[in-house]
Structure 1
Amino acid sequence: MTTYGILLFDSAQELDFTGSWEVFTTSSGLRDGRDDVLLVAERSAPVKAAYGSRLRVDHGWAPEEADLLVVPGGGYARREEPGVWAEVRRGSLPRALAAATRPGLTVSALCTGVMLLSSAGMTTGRPCTTHHRARADRERQGGVLKDARVVDDGDLVTAGGVTSGLDLALWLVRRELGADAAVGLEMMLEYEARGTVWTARSSR
C-alpha cells in the first residue's frame, strides 16, 4: 500500500494536480483500492485553484503519513497573490516542506511547484527540471538542470510544465509497481507517457 499526498494551495494549476490525482487514483482502483490518494493542504480551508475551481480539502497537512508527496505549480508567471510566488514570500509552506523530509518519503514536484522546493533549499545542487519559463530562475538558485521531461534523483523527483504531471505520476507508478502496471495505466487512460526520463542511476 502506498499513500500519495497531493498538495494544494490557492491558485495551484488544475492540470498540474489533477493529472497526478487521476493516475494514482486509477492505479489504486486497478489494485482494488490498495492505495490512499489524499488531497492535502497546509491550511484547513477550501482552495481556489488557478482557473476558479474550488476544492474542499478533507485531509490536513500530515506528510508523516505519506510515502510520496506531489507539489504542483501555479500562479508563477503573474508574480501576484495568490500562487507560488505568494507562497514563497509567505514562507510557511516552504518551511513545512523542508521540515517534512525524512527517510522513506519521496518528494516530487512539477512545473513551477519545483520553485517551492527550491525556496525551501530542497533542490540545491541536485538534478531537477521545471517549467521552461522558470528554468533560468531555478538555475540561478543553484539547481542542476537536466533537459528531460522527468528527473528522478531518488527521493526527489521533478517534472516539467503542466501536462508533465501525467508523465511524472506514470513514472512514479512504474518505479513503485513495475513496467506492466504503468503500461496498463496508459491503456486505461488512453495516454502514452512521453519525453525523456533522466535518472540518477542511468547517469552513473
Structure 2
Amino acid sequence: MNRRTVLRTATALGAAGIATGIPAHTAAAAHATGATSASKPDRRSPLRVQVVLFQGVEELDLAAPYEVLAASDHFTDRDVDVRYVALDGPRTITAAFGTRLRADHRWAPEKADLLVVPGGGYARREDPGVWAEIRRGALPRALAAAQRPGLTLAALCTGVMLLSAAGVTRGRPCTTHHRAQSDLVEQGGVLKKARVVDDGDLVTAGGVTSGLDLALWLVRRELGVDAALGLESMLEYEARGTVWTS
C-alpha cells in the first residue's frame, strides 16, 4: 500500500463503509485482518501508474489523477503504485502557477500499465508548457515510442495534444480541452463530445477538472466499480459527464 497518514487511512475506511453499507468499524477490522466479505485478498501484480511531469504542467491536471489513483489502493486488494516521472530523469519542475514538484523516478513506460499525460500552458505559446514540449520534440517522440501491448496511454486537457503531436490520436476517437479541439481535429483526431473517451489503450479527457473523471473511470475499469464508489465517497465527488467507449 502507498504511504498514507493515519488520518487519511481512517477517512478512506469510513468512506468504504459508506460506499458498501458496511459500518466503518467493520470495514476497519476487515482491513486490519486482510479479509473481505467475498474473497481472499487479490494476489495479482500491482497496477503500475506513471504520471508525466514537464515544465509548465498544470497543477490540477497532474494532482487530480495522481491523488485519485494513489488513493484507490484503499478500496482494492490489488496494490497500486503511482509515480511522477520526467523524461529527463529525476528532476524538479516548476508547474504553471509556480508550484515546484520533484519527479523522483526515471522515464520507464516499459514498467507501467497506465501512463497519464497532463496538460498545461497551451494558451501561452512562448512559455513552458505543452507548446514548448511540442517544439522541443523529445516528449512527443518518447510518447510515440512508449506504445506497446499492455500499456494504456491516458491524457487529459491539453496533454492530449502531446499525444496528438506523437501521432497517437490520429484516426482514433478522443477529446481534449474545448479550446484545443479544433487543433485536435485538424491533426487527425476523431473528436467525441464526451467528458472521457475510452478507446481501449487510449483514454482521453476534457479540460482541467476532467482529470478527476478520467482517473475515476480508469479505477472503475482497472479495479472495479466498488473501488470507484469508495473513492467517490472519500472525495465527496461524483463522476460527472459522459464516458464514450469504443
Q: Distance in 2 between matches of 1:92 and 1:195?
A: 33
Match of 2:201 among 152, 155, 163: 155
Instruction: Structure 1: give runs of 5+ residues left out of the alignment.
Output: none
Match of 1:64 among 90, 110, 128: 110
Contact 2:75 2:227 in 1 (8 A): no
Q: 1:184 — aligned with what?
A: 230
Is 1:23–2:68 an aligned residue pair?
A: yes
Q: 2:21 — aligned with what?
A: none
Q: RMSD of the TM alignment (CA)?
A: 1.0
Q: 1:91 — aligned with what?
A: 137
- After superposition, residues 29-108 of structure 1 pair within 5 angstroms as 29-31=74-76, 34-44=79-89, 45-108=91-154
Q: Distance in 1 between matches of 2:177 and 2:151?
A: 23
Q: Whose radius of gyration is greater, 1 or 2?
A: 2
Give the Å deviation of 1:181. Answer: 1.2
Q: Distance in 2 between matches of 1:28 and 1:61?
A: 23
Q: 1:9 — aligned with what?
A: 54
Give the secondary structure class of the aligned counterpart of 1:138: helix
More deviation in 37-46 or 154-163? Answer: 37-46
Q: 1:124 — aligned with what?
A: 170
- 4+ residue stretches of structure 1 with deviation over 3 A? 29-33
Give the secondary structure class of the aligned counterpart of 1:46: strand
Q: 1:135 — aligned with what?
A: 181
Q: Distance in 2 between matches of 1:149 and 1:142?
A: 19
Q: 1:195 — aligned with what?
A: 241
Q: 2:217 — aligned with what?
A: 171
Give the secondary structure class of the aligned counterpart of 1:56: strand
1:59-93 residue CA offsets vs partner (Å, 9 max, x unmatched) = 01000110000000000001113100000000000
Give the secondary structure class of the aligned counterpart of 1:195: coil
Q: Distance in 2 between matches of 1:82 and 1:167?
A: 26
1:87-132 residue CA offsets vs partner (Å, 9 max, x unmatched) = 0000000000000000000000000000000000000000000000
Q: Distance in 2 between matches of 1:25 and 1:72?
A: 16
Identity %, equivalent residues: 70
Q: Distance in 2 between matches of 1:29 and 1:46?
A: 28
Instruction: Structure 2: give runs of 5+ residues left out of the alignment.
Output: 1-45
How many pairs align?
200
Q: 1:146 — aligned with what?
A: 192
Tell me the TM-score normalized by structure 2. 0.80
Give the Å deviation of 1:180. Answer: 1.4
